[in-house]
A = this chain, B = another copy of it.
Amino acid sequence: MKKKSSLKDIAAYLGVSTTLVSYVINNKEKEAGVSKEMARKIRQAAKQLNYQPNLIAKSLKSGRTNTIGLVVADISNPFFSAIARIIEDEAGKYGYAAIFGSNDESAEKSATLINVLQSRQVDAFIIAAAEKSEEQIQGLQAANIPVVLIDRYFPSLDIDRVFIDNYQAAYKATQHLIRSGRTRVAMLAYDTGLYHMEERVKGYRDALRDHNLSFRKTWLRWIGYRQAKNEARQTMSDWLKPSVGIDAVLFATNTLAVESLKYIAASGVRVPERLAIIAFDESEAYDFFYSPVSSIRQPIEEMGKAAVRLVIERLGQPDKPTSAVGMDALLVLRESSDCSLMKKND
């Protein structure tokens, strides 16, 4: 039962003041003009007594915790856990740790989470924002707490952010499907007002329009986050009816795609011959689906690093102008959208 020792313990042990100990422990001996000999003795005692600084006390004094609050939709979603890992590593380089939380795309949970993290005095936030969480985020800004949005953002908010050009990504993917001969291209999206989702849908619709494909209502389905599983299956089942005859689908996220791919595999519909597919994000499912899935790959590593960089910059310079870091997603073409394998007479 080795007791933790405090500065006071070291001071008492050596019969000196805590002031001195503090200076040495924090390597401020030069500025404070602590004698070499004293510094040596203190360091030795610290080692001997197994001193570990109490960062809580330090934080109370300094007002900084060197902690970043990370808010994502669901840490068990590979997209977010990959980002979390990058952020963990990158923040660590600057001496910051991450406290994370999942909001399940719910504004209420997000509010609770942000409150908890704020009470814990995190120095800054990196947030993949939930729908309708603008006010919470503005609240943080009003309280002068740095916030960087990642993946999603609100165009109405003047705030640091890292994002991809979702419109372009969806447009290009749709265009690819159309140019290779698909004429009934559908899109499966989440029913959320979030800007990034709207941009993806807009890119899809504009691509249809620009290629003279008249859009039909049934081709675009918005489904709820909480019942995604059932609704994705239902949608696929509807779309694959001969009377509807969808011949290509753009999936707006990996979770939507994965659920649908399960249905597609089970239903026996041939990909890409009968149905071409392109999906956002990444998933091991994409690699292992019998027809490897073309995807819109976000530069996760760059995004995570940029988010941490923006946080650090903002902490150092609270009044600097907002940074909006846009990146391009990569359209990775594989077999699932290879329309040379198209079934002509269908």
A325 at the interface (CB under 8 A from B): no
A94 at the interface (CB under 8 A from B): no
A55 touches B85 (CB 8 A): no
B100 touches A88 (CB 8 A): yes
The residue of chain B having its C-beta at the shortest distance from the C-beta of A57 within the complex is B60
9-residue interface stretch from A34-42, A113-121, A153-161: A113-121
Q: A85: which B residues are within 8 A, CB to CB?
A: 74-76, 102
Copies in the complex: 2
Q: Give the number of residues in A that approach B within 8 Å (Cβ atoms).
A: 53
A142 touches B2 (CB 8 A): yes
Q: A287: which B residues are within 8 A, CB to CB?
A: 262, 285, 288
A290 to B285: give the CA distance in the assembly, Å.
11
Q: A288: which B residues are within 8 A, CB to CB?
A: 261, 265, 284-285, 287-290
A260 at the interface (CB under 8 A from B): no
B99 touches A98 (CB 8 A): yes
Interface of A toward B, CB cutoff 8 Å: 1-4, 52-57, 59-60, 65, 67, 74-78, 81-82, 84-85, 88-89, 97-102, 115-121, 139, 142-144, 258, 261-262, 265, 283-285, 287-290
- 30 A-B pairs, CB-CB below 8 angstroms? A2-B139, A4-B143, A52-B118, A53-B119, A54-B60, A54-B119, A55-B119, A55-B120, A56-B56, A56-B59, A60-B60, A75-B81, A75-B88, A76-B85, A78-B81, A85-B102, A88-B100, A88-B101, A88-B102, A97-B99, A97-B117, A97-B120, A98-B99, A100-B100, A284-B284, A284-B288, A285-B287, A285-B288, A287-B288, A290-B290
